Every structure is written in C-alpha cells, then in structure tokens.
A and B are shown apart, each in its own frame.
Chain A
C-alpha cells in the first residue's frame, strides 16, 4: 500500500475513533442552527452532485460526496 493511502486511512480511523469519544449527545432542541440552509449538508446535495460530475469531466479522479444519508444527523 502506498504511503499516502496509509496516511489517509490512519487519519480516517483516528477521526472515527475521536468521534466515538463524544460523551454528551447533542439534544434535538440544540440543533436549530444545524438545519439552517447555510449549514446543512442536504441544502447543497444537488449542487455537490452537479459539481462532482463537472470535475470528473476535467480531472482524473471521482468521488467525495458519497451516498447522501438520511436521518436527523445529516439533513
């Protein structure tokens, strides 16, 4: 495996481990700012999909938006 791949995988695993350490969950009534269109992931989902397609046509890579998930956490 190439070293950049190792680096990214290590970063990802550390991030996953770190997020699992959050102790007090954010309550539903504390999430008002997260559903604001200038903050939420969902508000830019269509735009991100269009952009990814455009970049694919100009550059040699793909990806970066994943399948848009549902649920409160990402709307």
Chain B
C-alpha cells in the first residue's frame, strides 16, 4: 500500500481532530496522585562510547478529569578519539544514533549533547502529545494524538494512536560530507487492544505502521564500493510495520512473569522477530527483583552487501549500516525496585519515594557489546 504525503497529512489531521473532540465520558482518569521522577542512566559499550542521560518526569492531575505530563531528558554522548578516516564505520556510530563527523584531527574525544522534551495532555479517553529533540545537527519534532475506550465492563480497552514527525537535518562540517540540509518525515499509526483475560492475566495485542520519507542514511558515512569510497545512499521512502502480543501473568507467592513477542517487516526487506521475558518477585514487602532476557534476530535489507562490486550498489542504493545486515542479539538484565513506604512508615518524605536500579548486558552477532546501568527515584507529590 502506498500512502502519499498529502494523504498522510489528511489522515493525521483527522486522527488528531477526532482525539481532541472526543468527550471525556468513557472513563474517569485523574485518579492517580501527582508524581515526579528522575532518572540517571549510564551507557558504555565495547567501542568505549559512553552516554550519560539525566531525565525528569512530572505528572499532574487537573480539573475536568484530565492529566498533564511533562518529560525532559538531557543526554551527553562521548565518542573517544579514533584512528579512522572520515566516513568509515567506526568513525561515526554511537548509541542514540549520534554521529561523529571527522574534521581535521579525529584523535580527540568528540562530545555531543542532546536535549529532548515531551508534553502530553490527557482528557478522558483522548490525549495530545508534542515532542521536540535537539542536537547540533538534528532537530526532531512530533505531534501526536491518541484515543481509547473501554468495552465489556472495562475488561477490554481499545487504543488508537497517530503521530506526525518532522526532522530537520543540518550536517556539520566534515572532511568529506557532501550532504546539504535535509528533511525526514514520519507518519505513525497504531492500534492496541488490552484485555483482562482472568483475575491474574492481562494480554495486549497491537499493530503499528510507519511511513518514513526523506533522508534515511547517515550523511557522514561512506561505503567501499567498486574499489573506492562513495557516500552511503538509502531509499527515500520506507514503510515499516509490526505486530506484537504481550502477556502479563501474576503468579502465586507474589511473583509475575511477562512474555512478549514482536514481528517486524518493512519494504526494504528487513524482517525481524523479538522475544522478551521478565520474571519479577517480591523479596520482601516493598522490595522487588526482576530478571530479564531478550532475544532478537533480523534479516538483511535487500540492498545490503558486505562488498559492493560497483559504485551503483544494488538498484542505486548502498549502505554501510550494520543495522541493515543480518543480525541477532541477546540481552540479560536484572533490576531492584524499593518502595520506601514499606521501610519508613513514619517519615512522610521518605514514604513518598520509590528507588530503583537496573543493570543490563547487551551483545550482538557483530561483536558489539554494551553495559547499561540505570538508577532513579520516583516521588509521589502530596
């Protein structure tokens, strides 16, 4: 199915208008207390790239059964000095898809800062969202809407969501960058159904569709083809879709198991499968532990090759992006969550806090590995 940009904008406007106009009658939100949370996250990988994230989340119940939420994130990416020519694979890749352009001396650490903010207004069954993310060569903005409704005595919930995002890309000076200012747009639709299947089981099914248009390759990356280095070139349009099912089962002895499966497919030829499992257990009142394992595998894009015989690549497209090649990965994780209400029942300030710690180990078939440590605190406001 092909959706033109004009149709895409029309569909998005219709979705957001429907979300905005829906009366707040289907349910009674705003029953949660106001919450403020902060998160500190460290990421390090086998290439010695490090990322420090500091984020905050606030949620306020408001009049007319509505809620306002705000999210902020400041991220500092540090890519170590390297001995690599401009455009080479190792010169540019980092987590958060931050890129390292090479201009002059590449032997010094490269640092990049990204700031993002998101606000959401939810009233009754409808919600509107605005998101903005800014870094030195990338500005992303997104406008979204969501509507949901309960059925069957509130045991079945249907949620429909849509968003439109537009990214402005301004590649910074690089020794061989030839890409000028560019733009990328994404139209997103999702339908999610959640069902209370039994007193101990919740099941969620969903399908998502993304239509991406514009610059989708890395402007700093080159590909070795036909005996020379040429800039990477991806198609300008990509249709991405996925379907997923997730099950949360409460178990005896204050524990639970969560299972999830996702299938993804796009018109570049990438198919992927993802399996995720989580086992949670209360150690004592207010303290819970969780173990996680995730397996992921994908096929390569149609135009992905280890070596290109010609500078024209495959059908005019070339990529040096390993994420478009065959790939499998594993993730192991463990976390602890402590609700201080159970430990400091007489101290009002402490009672409102929840602390958590999350440690993960990720590795994939490209000899890439990473460690992630997250720690955070959530505070329930009076």
Q: Which positions in A face B, CB cutoff 8 Å?
A: 2, 4-5, 8-9, 11-12, 15-16, 19, 22, 25-28, 30-31, 33-34, 36-41, 46-47, 50, 53-74
Select A59's contact among B37, B240, B280, B323, beta carbons within 8 Å.
B323
Tell me the minimal C-beta distance from B15 to chain A in angstroms.
Answer: 11
Does the CB pair B204–A70 fall under 8 Å? no
Given contacts A19-B205, A61-B274, 6 further A-B contacts (CB under 8 A): A12-B245, A26-B197, A38-B255, A39-B256, A72-B150, A74-B204
Q: Could you jot down 27 A-B contacts, CB within 8 Å?
A: A2-B271, A4-B265, A8-B263, A12-B245, A28-B154, A38-B288, A41-B204, A55-B296, A59-B272, A59-B298, A63-B240, A64-B208, A64-B242, A64-B244, A64-B262, A64-B264, A65-B244, A66-B159, A67-B160, A71-B26, A71-B27, A71-B148, A71-B150, A72-B27, A72-B150, A74-B157, A74-B202
Partner of A73, one of B96, B156, B200, B301: B156
Q: Which residue of A lies closest to B144 (CB)?
A: A67
State A28–B148 Cα separation when bound (angstroms): 19
Q: A63-B242, A67-B161, A73-B157 are in contact. Are A39 and B248 (CB under 8 A)?
A: yes
Question: How far is B360's CA from A50's CA once the two chains are assembled, in angstroms?
Answer: 13
How many interface contacts (CB-CB < 8 Å) are there between A and B? 205
CA distance A46 to B157 in the complex (A): 20
Nearest-neighbour CB distance to chain A for B25, whole angstroms, equals 12
Most chain A beta-carbon contacts within 10 A, residue among B152, B196, B250: B196
Q: Is B368 an interface residue (CB 8 A)?
A: yes
Closest to B29 in A: A70
> Which residues does chain A contribute within 8 Å of B250, judged by CB atoms?
33-34, 36, 39
**A61 and B199 in contact, given A4-B263, A38-B288, A70-B29 (Cβ under 8 angstroms):** no
Contact A67 B190 (CB under 8 A): yes
Known: A15-B245, A39-B256, A61-B264. A70 touches B298 (CB 8 A): no
Closest to B124 in A: A70
Chain A min CB distance to B163 (Å):
9
Q: Interface on B for A, CB 8 Å cutoff?
A: 26-27, 29, 37, 41, 43, 57, 95-97, 122, 125, 127, 144, 146, 148-150, 152-161, 190-200, 202-208, 210, 240-246, 248-250, 254-256, 260, 262-266, 270-272, 274, 280-282, 288, 290, 296, 298, 301, 323-324, 327, 329, 337, 339, 358, 362, 364, 368, 370, 372
- The DSSP consensus for interface residues of chain B is strand
CB contact between A69 and one of B57, B194, B241, B244 (< 8 Å): that residue: B194
- Measured between beta carbons, the chain A residues less than 8 angstroms from B149 are 71
The distance from the CB of B218 to the nearest CB of chain A, in whole angstroms, is 12
Q: How far is the CA of A50 from the CA of B205 in the complex (A)?
A: 20
How far is it, in angstroms, between the C-alpha of A9 and the C-alpha of B243 when the chains are bound?
8
Please name all residues of chain B whose beta carbon is closer than 8 Å to the beta carbon of A38 when the two chains form the complex: 254-256, 280-282, 288, 290
Specify which of A25, A41, A50, A57 is in contact with B248 (CB 8 Å cutoff). A41
In the complex, which residue of chain A has the Cβ closest to the Cβ of B262? Answer: A64
Task: Point out the residues of chain A lying under 8 angstroms from B191, CB to CB.
Answer: 66
Closest-by-CB residue of B relative to A1 is B265
Of B57, B144, B156, B329, chain A has the most CB atoms within 10 Å of the CB of B156
Enumerate chain B residues within 8 angstroms of A31, measured Cβ to Cβ: 196, 199
Q: How far is the CB of A34 from chain B (nearest CB, A)?
A: 6
Chain B residues with Cβ under 8 A from A22's Cβ?
Answer: 155, 195, 197
CB-CB nearest in chain B for A33: B250
Residue of A nearest to B327 (CB): A59
Residues of A within 8 A of B249 (CB): 39
Please give me the residue from chain A that is nearest to B208 by CB atom.
A63
Q: Which residue of A lies closest to B159 (CB)?
A: A69
- B329 close to A59 (CB less than 8 A): yes
How far is it, in angstroms, between the C-alpha of A22 and the C-alpha of B153 when the chains are bound? 12
B118 to chain A, nearest CB (A): 10
Assess the B296–A12 pair: CB atoms within 8 A: no
